[in-house]
Chains A and B, each alone.
Chain A
Amino acid sequence: GNSVTQMEGPVTLSEEAFLTINCTYTATGYPSLFWYVQYPGEGLQLLLKATKADDKGSNKGFEATYRKETTSFHLEKGSVQVSDSAVYFCALSFTNTGNQFYFGTGTSLTVIP
């Protein structure tokens, strides 16, 4: 089957610290991989994506590399800011199956000044 396993939170970091949120997946096929972010009171927003192995998605200082050999898509940021406090969801989807998304459980990040 298809599933996404995400590092459990909550995660609390000081401002300017390095962030890693682990994500691994199981998939029957070759999915596209995504990171979504949910700020308090808002909907999920696409943060970055990768559509094939070895692709690196990046946005707002965040990046993640599609690693087929380790079935992983870890999210990283070199220096977090207070404004990065949110819940982060890793997800996979197949473009030929109506775009059903499989989500991880979400990881809550709090950045303190």
Chain B
Amino acid sequence: GAVVSQHPSRVICKSGTSVKIECRSLDFQATTMFWYRQFPKQSLMLMATSNEGSKATYEQGVEKDKFLINHASLTLSTLTVTSAHPEDSSFYICSARDRVAGGSYNEQFFGPGTRLTVL
């Protein structure tokens, strides 16, 4: 099946620094990638939808200037958490939709997630 990777898998940073998380589709091209955030014992919450070559669409309540998303190629999207604070500590998961596969349900392929801890 299609594989999505994320890097790093785990990051610890100091408050006020910026952290970049990469999401790559390894064996397919993804025109659309999604970024989710998961708090302990809570649902995955969609943060933004990232389309290759255009600006990301952010969900209500998500600060676009804090969570910068870039989708510069069909296989790579990045999420940068700027001036991170402890409340940004969370599990961030990306997913990608295969530009070729279609169908009635349009499966998404998920990365393994990145655990961010801000001290």
Contacts and interface: CB of A to CB of B under 8 A. Distances in A.
B104 to A, nearest CB: 5
Given A32-B105, A89-B44, A103-B43, A98 B110 contact: no
Determine chain B's interface SS by DSSP, over half rule.
strand
Which of the four size classes fits the interface of chain B?
20 to 34
B43 A99 contact: no
Contact of B105 (A89, A95, A100, A102): A95
Contact of B106 (A44, A95, A102, A106): A95
A103 B32 contact: no
Contacts, number: 60
Contacts of A46: 107
A46 B105 CA distance: 12
A51 interface: yes
Contacts of A4: 43
Interface string A10-27: 000000000000000000
B34, B41, B108 — most chain A CB neighbours (10 Å): B108
A99 B97 contact: yes
A62 interface: no
26 contacts: A4-B43, A42-B112, A43-B4, A43-B109, A43-B110, A43-B112, A44-B93, A45-B1, A46-B107, A51-B104, A51-B105, A93-B105, A93-B108, A95-B104, A98-B49, A99-B97, A99-B108, A100-B49, A101-B34, A101-B36, A101-B44, A102-B43, A103-B36, A105-B43, A106-B41, A106-B43
Given A43-B109, A98-B49, 17 more contacts: A4-B43, A32-B104, A41-B112, A43-B6, A44-B93, A49-B105, A93-B106, A95-B105, A95-B106, A99-B32, A99-B106, A100-B46, A101-B44, A102-B43, A102-B46, A103-B43, A106-B41
Interface of A: 4, 32, 34, 36, 41-46, 49, 51, 89, 93, 95, 98-106
